Structure 1
Amino acid sequence: MPEQQNKPSAKRIAVMDLGTNTFHLLIAEGSAGDFKVIHHQTEAVKIGEGGINKGIIQQAAFTRGIKAMQDFKKHIDGAGATEVRAIATSALRSAANGNDFIAEVEAKAGIQIEIINGDQEAAFIYEGIKASGVLTNENALIIDIGGGSVEFIIGNNKEVLWKQSFEIGAARLMDKFHKTDPIPVISIKAMTAYLNQHLGPLFIAAMEYKPATLIGSSGAFESFAEVIDLEKGKPFDLKKIKAYEFDTDDLLDIIERLIKSTHAKRAATKGIIPVRVDMIVTASLLTIYIMQKVGLVNVSMSTYSLKEGVLAGMLG
C-alpha cells in the first residue's frame, strides 16, 4: 500500500535534554546498544542566562527556549518519531517560572516536558555512559558538568555504587566567581573554598569506593578532546566518537591554558563551541580540582550522556 512508504521501519524515538545552556534533540531508531541516529540537533538556548542564581528564566531566554522547542517539534514530526520524551534538569527545576515555561511549550509546541530530580538525572547519565562502552569492571568516578548542576556517579560496568547531584554547575560557578577575565587567583581560591564546603559527600564516597579513573560525560570534556586533537593536526569528529582517552599531560596543559586565557583567546580557539567559550573556565577549574582532590590521573571522556541514557531505556 502506497501510504506505508513513509513509515519508519523500526521504532523511532525522540529524546530532548533541556539543559541550562543547551537544548538537545536526538531522534534515533534501533536497539539500546546499537541505535542509528536519524537527527541530532543542539541549540544554545542559554535558559539560565542572567537568572541562573536568581531562580528565574529571563524573558529573552524564555523566548529562545520556546522557539527551540517549536523547531524541535517540526523535526520530530518530520522524522515520524512515535515516542517522545523531553527531560528538563537544573535550570527549569529551580526556576520560579519553570512551570510557566512548561505550560507554554505544551501550548505552542505540543510537547510535554518532565522535570527530573538530580538523582534521576545521575541515573540516566550512568545509563548513557554505560551504553558508550567506556566503563570496565574497575570503579570509575563519572562527572557530568552541566550549566546548573554537576552529577557525580561512582560505578562500574555492572552497577552504580553511589551517585549525587550538586547545584554547582559551570553557569552557576561562572556567575559567582568568574566576573573578571582572565579569572583572578583570588576568585579561584574563593571557588576552591566553595567546592570544599559543598562536595564533602563526594570525598567520603571516593574514600569508600576508590575509583581508579575519571570519566567526563560530554560537555566540556568534548571541547578538551577536540582542542587537543586539532592542535596536534588530528581530525576530530564527535559524531564518530563514543569514548576518548586523554593523555594526562595534554589534558593538564589545555586546562591550565584555558584557566589563564582571555575571552578573545578562547573564542579564537578551534574546538570550543560558542556556548562554552566562557563556561569552560569554571568547568576546567572544577575538573582539575576533582583530579587533585580524588587523586585521579587516568581520565576518559564519553560523548554519551543523559539523552543516550534515556534513549537506551526507551529502546531497551
Structure 2
Amino acid sequence: MRYGAIDIGSNAVRLLIADIIENNGSVSFKKNTLIRVPLRLGDDAFLDHHLSGKKSADLVKTMQAFSKLMEVYKVTDYKAYATSAMREAKNGDEVVKLVKTEANIDLEIIHGQKEAGIIYASHAELNIDKSKNYLYIDVGGGSTELSLFSAGEMWASRSFNIGTIRMLDNQDTEETWNEMRDFIRENTKQFKVILGIGTGGNINKLYKLSEEKDKAPLTFGKLKALYTYLSSFSLKDRINVLGLNQDRADVIIPACEIYMTVMKWANIKSIYVPTVGLVDGIIQTLIEKNHPKSS
C-alpha cells in the first residue's frame, strides 16, 4: 500500500510517495520517492497577490506529472495542500479549479493553523523527552509556524507571515515581526528551559552542513557560526563553491535569520532537527484517517 503527499509551498512543490508498513497492529511509513520542483510561487503571490499565467501553467504541468507518477506507483490515497503563497494569491481558488480540471488532483489551500497541526503530526516528537518544553519552528517561503508544547500538550500555536521568499522580496513587515516577538515572549515566559524543534528544507540543509552526529541538537552558537560562514560567500559562490542548489542558496540566509531570531526571543540554546516536514505530516494524517486503531 502506498500513500501520496503533495505540498505546494512558496518556494518549492513536493511530492512524497510513501510505502505503508503494517506490523502487529501498528502502522508506519517508509519514504519511497521524494520529488521537489522549485516553482517559486511566492514571487508572484507576495509581490502581485496574483499567480501569473506562467506560474499557474507550470503548477498545472507539475501536478499532471505528479498525478501520473502516483498512478504508476499505484498510490491508493493522497492529500494535496497549498500553503502561504496560494493563501495570498487572489486567484488561488481559480488555480485550484484549474488543477482539478487539468490534472485531476484535489487541491486544498490550508490556513496557517492547520499547516502547523499537520507539521506536528509528522510525529517528530516521538523520540524526545515529553516531560520537557519544546517550541516547534517551521520556516517556509511565505510563513513561519510556531507551536509550543509542554509535557506533551500544546500550549499555543500560531502562523506568521514571515518567510524566506517574503523577506527576499521585502514583503515582511516590522509589525509582523513585533507580533511574533510578543507571541513568543508571552507564551514562553513561564518556562525556564525551552528546546527547539526545527522543520523545513532550510533547517534540514543547515543541519547537514553542520555535520552533527547521532541526531544531536544544533546549538545556537553553531547555527550562528553557519550563518556567518554562509554569509561570507556570494550567492554565486554558495552555488558553485558550496554546491547549494540555486533555489536554496538565496533562501538559506533569511531562513537562518528567522531561526536565530526565534531562538533568541524564546531563549532557546539548542534546536533538534528531525528532518521532517509538511509532506511527512500529511502521510501521518492519512495513516490516522485510514488506520484509526494505529494512531
Q: TM-score band (shorter)?
A: 0.7 to 0.9
- Is contact 1:122–1:164 with CA below 8 Å preserved after alignment? yes
Count how many residue pairs are aligned between Structure 1 and Structure 2. 284
Q: Deviations over 1:99-137 (max 9, x none)?
A: 121111111110010111111111111111436635643
Residue among 212, 222, 231 paired with 1:250: 222
Percent identical across equivalent pairs? Answer: 25
CA drift of 1:159 comes to: 2.4
Distance (Å, rounded) in 2 between the aligned partners of 1:301 and 1:33: 23
Change (3 A) 1:274 1:211: farther
Q: Deviations over 1:24-59 (max 9, x none)?
A: 111112258631223221111111124423311123
- Is contact 1:134–1:302 with CA below 8 Å preserved after alignment? no
Match of 1:80 in 2: 74
Match of 1:182 in 2: none
Change (3 A) 1:197 1:35: closer
Tell me whether 168-177 or 253-262 shows the greater mean CA deviation.
253-262
Match of 1:68 in 2: 62
- Please list, as runs of the form range in 1=range in 2, the aligned pairs for 1:120-159 lying within 5 A after superposition: 120-130=114-124, 133-134=127-128, 136-156=130-150, 158-159=152-153
Give the root-mean-square deviation of aligned CA atoms.
2.5
- Please list, as runs of the form range in 1=range in 2, the aligned pairs for 1:1-316 lying within 5 A after superposition: 11-28=1-18, 29-30=20-21, 34-130=28-124, 133-134=127-128, 136-156=130-150, 158-176=152-170, 195-209=177-191, 212-229=194-211, 243=215, 245-270=217-242, 272-316=244-288
Change (3 A) 1:98 1:209: farther
Look up the equivalent residue of 1:288 and give its one-letter code: M
Q: TM-score, normalised by structure 2?
A: 0.87
Q: TM-score, normalised by structure 1?
A: 0.81
Distance (Å, rounded) in 2 between the aligned partners of 1:133 and 1:46: 33
Distance (Å, rounded) in 1 between the aligned partners of 2:128 and 2:15: 23
Tell me whether 121-130 or 209-218 shows the greater mean CA deviation.
209-218
- Is contact 1:33–1:312 with CA below 8 Å preserved after alignment? no
Distance (Å, rounded) in 2 between the aligned partners of 1:227 and 1:192: 30
- Is contact 1:48–1:61 with CA below 8 Å preserved after alignment? no
Q: Deviations over 1:246-289 (max 9, x none)?
A: 24433221112234442122223536332221111111111221
Distance (Å, rounded) in 1 between the aligned partners of 2:169 and 2:208: 26
Change (3 A) 1:35 1:194: closer
Match of 1:84, SS state, is strand
CA drift of 1:220 comes to: 1.0
Look up the equivalent residue of 1:292 and give its one-letter code: K
Distance (Å, rounded) in 2 between the aligned partners of 1:164 and 1:114: 20
Distance (Å, rounded) in 2 between the aligned partners of 1:155 and 1:145: 17
| Unpaired runs of at least 5, structure 2 | 289-295
- Is contact 1:227–1:272 with CA below 8 Å preserved after alignment? no
Look up the equivalent residue of 1:220 and give its one-letter code: N
- Is contact 2:194–2:266 with CA below 8 Å preserved after alignment? no
| Unpaired runs of at least 5, structure 1 | 1-10, 178-189, 235-240
- Is contact 2:144–2:160 with CA below 8 Å preserved after alignment? yes
Distance (Å, rounded) in 1 between the aligned partners of 2:182 and 2:165: 21
